[in-house]
């Protein structure tokens, strides 16, 4: 496994609608492992393939917050929200592609997600709490949508400028 460099906003690759996965090739399974390693290393609770520059419908997540609890590395190919609750939840969200910036986002509190697991089997399950938020955030990435797209244009512009500055400084370092 190896760490993959994370694409920082603004970047055209973060605005693209990603392609569905047709076959679970060894290359894709390796990418999923690399993404999990990159996510844990960051550290983060979720990562989508476009964030490592691959425009494919693949996300990884582990929203287990308790450090004493068993980790739950989760890999989802072609994930789709098939049902969302009317009830909403507000979380302070961040994104590994927009470092060190956070904002409150309102989303459905519970979602049912369908996906293909790493063995190629279709799965479907209900998610609540942080899991629901993380999965919706990551699935948005596959449609070229960032959490800052839910904010006011002014706030979005401010966060984009900060991220751009971060990127310039990182490039110089
Ligand atoms: Ni993100």
Spatial separation of the C-alpha atoms in residues 45 and 63, rounded to whole Å? 5
- Whole-number Å distance, alpha carbon 14 to ligand 1 midpoint, is 9
pTM of the full structure: 0.97
Residue 147 above 90 pLDDT? yes
Q: How many CB atoms lie within 10 A of CB 153?
A: 8
Interval between CA 51 and ligand 1 midpoint (Å): 8
**Does the residue 79 lie in any domain?**
yes
Q: Is 60 helix (H, G, I), strand (E, B) or coil?
A: strand
Q: Is residue 54 part of a domain?
A: yes
| Ion ligand 1 nearby residues (CB, 5 A) | 95
Measured in angstroms, how far is the CA atom of residue 111 from the centroid of ligand 1? 18
Number of domains present in the structure of the chain: 1
Q: How far is the CA of 80 from the centre of ligand 1 (A)?
A: 16
Q: What is the CATH number of the domain that holds 58?
A: 3.90.45.10
User: Does residue 6 form part of some domain?
Assistant: no
Q: Give pLDDT, residue 1.
A: 77
120: left (phi over 0), alpha (psi -120 to 50) or beta: left
Closest of 135, 162, 147 to residue 14, by C-alpha: 147
> For all residues of the chain together, what is the average pLDDT?
97
Instruction: Quickly count: other Cβ atoms within 10 Å of residue 116's Cβ.
Output: 19
Phi, psi of 133 (to 5 degrees): -65, -50
Task: Tell me the catalytic residues.
Answer: 138
- 2 domain residue, yes or no: no
The CA 141 to ligand 1 mean position distance, Å, reads: 7
* Helix, strand, or coil (residue 171): helix
Residue range 59-85, pLDDT digits in tens: 999 999 888 999 999 999 999 999 999
Q: Could you tell me if residue 105 is inside a domain?
A: yes
Domain contains 5: no
Q: What is the pLDDT of residues 3-55, one digit of tens each?
A: 999 999 999 999 999 999 999 999 999 999 999 999 999 999 999 999 999 99
Residue 131 domain-assigned?
A: yes
Q: Is residue 3 part of a domain?
A: no
| Residue 113 lies in domain | 12-172
The residue written with tokens 């986002």 in the block is 105
What pLDDT does 171 receive?
A: 87
Looking at residue 144, the DSSP 8-state letter turns out to be T
């Amino acid at each position: 496994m190896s760490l993959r460099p994370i694409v920082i906003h603004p970047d055209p690759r973060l605005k693209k609608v990603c392609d569905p996965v047709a076959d679970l090739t060894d290359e894709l399974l390796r990418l999923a492992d690399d993404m999990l390693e990159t996510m844990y290393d960051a550290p983060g609770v979720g990562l989508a393939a476009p964030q490592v520059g691959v425009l494919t419908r693949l996300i990884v997540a582990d929203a287990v917050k308790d450090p004493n609890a068993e980790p739950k590395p989760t890999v989802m190919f072609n994930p789709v929200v098939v049902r969302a609750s009317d009830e909403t939840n507000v979380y302070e969200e961040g994104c590994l592609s927009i470092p060190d910036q956070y904002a409150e986002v309102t989303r459905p509190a519970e979602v049912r997600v369908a996906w293909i697991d790493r063995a190629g089997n279709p799965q479907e399950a209900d998610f609540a709490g942080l899991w629901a938020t993380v999965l919706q955030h990551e699935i948005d990435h596959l449609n070229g949508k960032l959490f800052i797209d839910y904010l006011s244009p002014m706030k979005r512009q401010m966060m984009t400028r900060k991220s751009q500055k971060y990127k310039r400084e990182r490039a110089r370092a």
